[in-house]
Amino acid sequence: MPKKVEMVLQSSEPVKPMELPQKPPKFFCVDHATGRAFLKDLILMVGAFREIEDGKADESQVKILSKKAQEFLVGIGDQLMIDTGLNEKDIEGITKELNNELKKR
Digit-coded pLDDT (tens) for 29-83: 888 998 899 899 999 999 999 999 999 999 999 999 999 999 999 988 998 898 8
Strand ranges inside 54-94, DSSP E: none
Residue 79: what pLDDT? 87
- Quick check: is 81 in a domain? yes
Residue 5: what pLDDT? 55
- Quick check: is 1 in a domain? no
Number of domains in the chain: 1
Residue 83: what pLDDT? 84
Q: Could you tell me the pTM of the whole model?
A: 0.61
The closest of 83, 95, 88 to 28, measured between CA atoms, is: 83
Whether residue 35 contacts residue 28, with contact meaning beta carbons closer than 8 Å, is answered with: yes
- Quick check: is 86 in a domain? yes
- Quick check: is 11 in a domain? no
- Quick check: is 90 in a domain? yes
Range of the domain at 65: 32-104
Residue 99: what pLDDT? 95
